[in-house]
Amino acid sequence: MVQKIEIIGVSGIPLIRPGDNLGEIIIEAVNRMGLTIEDHDIVLVTQIIVSKAEGRVYSLSEFIPSQDALNIAATTGKDPRHVEAILREAVRIVRMRGEVIITETRHGFICANSGVDLSNVGEGMVALLPIDPDKSAEIIRKEIEALTGKHVAVIITDSHGRPFRRGAINVAVGCSGIEPIWDRRGEKDLYGRILRSKQICIADELASAAELVMGQADEGVPVAIIRGYRYKASEDGARRIIRPADEDLFR
């Protein structure tokens, strides 16, 4: 049986402010489009509106640069206050070259600038990643389920670069209600060979698919619904995606 998957961009999401209930806002926007949430829908939400709702947007003036931040700013050409925000969100700097700063965040993400974003937050402002993106996804999921009576999954997305490949893609930084990894080890391939290492990051694949309708340029469509994908429900979060240090060949 051929599986049919729909990807629906949710328009009409207003500018988000601290304290906003994202579950309610998403359902209201879906209803205005003449749609309804269905059982097993996957709701994908950009990190930036989650950070806004959780009050993780700050004025750059709140970050007083340390000497380390001043030194790095002189090397990279970045605003020292931006660098200070990056350092506060990082547990270590992985690499620096030119204006690029790759860090490991407190969440365990390896990404540019600790995920600290200057886009879509206004002049002189900066957005930090949610403190616990998996918990954020769980809260949104439970809000949507309470309002609709439907069982759904929620994935919080952000754009990340990739080693050895050009171009950023959307990935899952948080999720709830969906098994993020499809572990196919022990299954057989077309020729009966036992699969020994095949694990597919479903959450990242769905996040990248949703970006095709959400886009990167602005937050006009910061929410998408993927419908028709048969996923396994789970309370595991996106933290399961992060490769443990003892499996990492590049540390």
Mapped to the 3 state alphabet, what secondary structure does 8-51 carry? EEECCCCCCCCCCCHHHHHHHHHHHCCCCCCCCCEEEEEHHHHH
Q: Residue 41 pLDDT more than 70?
A: yes
Last residue of a domain, one of 80, 108, 126: 126
If asked whether residues 121 and 81 sit together in one domain, one would say yes
What pLDDT sits at residue 217? 43
Contact predicate 10/130, CB 8 Å = no
Helix (H, G, I), strand (E, B) or coil at 188: strand
If asked whether residues 160 and 221 sit together in one domain, one would say yes
Supply the range of the domain harboring residue 115.
58-126
Residue written as tokens 């419908």? 227
Domain tally for the chain?
Answer: 2
Contact predicate 78/72, CB 8 Å = yes
Kindly report, residue by residue over 107-134, the tens digit of the pLDDT: 999 999 999 988 888 899 999 999 999 9
Kindly report, residue by residue over 89-111, the tens digit of the pLDDT: 999 999 999 999 999 999 999 99
Indicate the average pLDDT of the chain. 92
Last residue of a domain, one of 88, 110, 126: 126
Domain containing residue 100: CATH number = 3.90.1660.10
Domain containing residue 234: CATH number = 3.30.1330.100
Q: Which residues of 77-99 are buried (b: 16+ CB within 10 A; e: fewer)?
A: ebbbbbbbbbbebbeeeeeeeee
42 within domain boundaries: yes
